[in-house]
Amino acid sequence: MQANQIHPLLNHFCKELSVHLESLSKHQTTIDPSEFAELVAAATNEVLELYSSGEFDLNTYRQSTAEEYKELARQSIDSYSLTNDTIGEIAEKHAELLEESTTSGLIDFGKITEKFSDIQTHLSDEVSRANEVIHTLLEQVKTLETKTSLDPLTKVFNRYALQEHLKTVLEKESMDFEMFAFMIDVDDFKNINDRFGHIAGDKVLIFISKLLKKALRDGDRVYRFGGEEFIILLNRTDTEGAQLVAERLLTLCRNNKPLFQNQQIPVTLSIGLTKIIKGDSIDSIIERSDTAFYRAKNNGKDRFEMEF
């Protein structure tokens, strides 16, 4: 592995580990060393698996948000430079103070106290300003990470990518082909977390995302909508074809059980299916697929329903 490949892989590992830790922190305040070691191992395996399978494209990683991160880096350097210059000016004032205090051979306590108080105020103001800049830059980094197209845990597209894609589709005057949206939810996901633990829950989400991607064509897209919910945008098919895809996904999930600590975890899906039509908005598409999805839940789960 080349030296310039280490940084993105290390960064990716840190993101993997932080995702697992964040998920765990919602339910507990401490972690056992053996449990932490298991998290580290899981994050390492995820990164190595992505790298060996070719899913993690280092060139794409470096180029995808390079310019935006460069701009943030430039702002950080500029801010540091300004802070450094300001503190340098304060240091010069400090030196002048010391020089003034020894010119006559006597120390004017009133004057030196006033000067030190003035320097302390300047330093305090500059530290506060620097902290505000750092906070702003951190918020910009968070925003930038939100705008990247992949969900950090499952590696499918995220909600931001879904909104951007649908916005492009709906802005067209006419649709060149029929398009369908699936709202997919992992049945009884809370019970999985309660029974097997939240690390197992994360593993199930990763398993489902991989199953969905492998079952679909290259032109179809999988998005993590939130929590245990996924959305699929299916194109170039008809209603009958969309139904067949839904049935295939249900069967694949039903017949393939993820393993966690040598235990098989039974997983099923509930799917809400709708067709995207002219005049639709993002909200109307989500609302219809949501209605169908809840009908599938109420009718027994492990099934799909349609809403047109």
Answer yes or no: 67 catalytic.
Answer: no
Q: Which of 94-103, 123-132, 139-148, 182-191 has the lowest mean pLDDT?
A: 94-103
Question: How far is it, in rounded angstroms, from Cα 67 to Cα 72?
Answer: 9
Please tell me the predicted confidence (pLDDT) of residue 2.
44
Distances (CA, A) of 138 to 68, 71, 73, 143, 145: 13, 13, 11, 9, 11
Report whether 256 contacts 223 (CB < 8 A). no
Residue 135 above 80 pLDDT? no
Residue 300 has pLDDT above 80, yes or no: yes
Instruction: Look at residue 38 in the predicted model and tell me its pLDDT.
Output: 72
**Most confident segment among 78-87, 120-129, 146-155:** 146-155
pLDDT at residue 247 in the model: 94
**213-227 residue pLDDT tens:** 888 887 789 999 989
Q: What is the mean pLDDT of the chain?
A: 77
pLDDT at 185 over 50: yes
For the stretch 9-58, pLDDT in tens is 666 666 667 666 666 666 666 766 667 777 777 777 766 666 665 555 55
Read off the pLDDT of each residue in 120-135 and give the average, rounded to a whole number: 66
Both tokens assigned to 59: 């060139």
Q: Do residues 303 and 189 make contact, with C-beta atoms less than 8 angstroms apart?
A: no
How does DSSP classify residue 172? Answer: S
Which is catalytic among the residues 228, 229, 287, 305?
228
C-alpha 78/C-alpha 218 separation (Å) is 44
H or E segment and range at residue 53: helix 33-53
Asked if residues 272 and 289 have their Cβ atoms less than 8 Å apart, the reply is: yes
Mean pLDDT on 159-164:
89
What value does the mean pLDDT take over residues 262-266?
Answer: 90
pLDDT digits (tens, 9 = 90+) for 79-120: 655 665 665 665 566 556 556 555 555 545 556 556 556 656
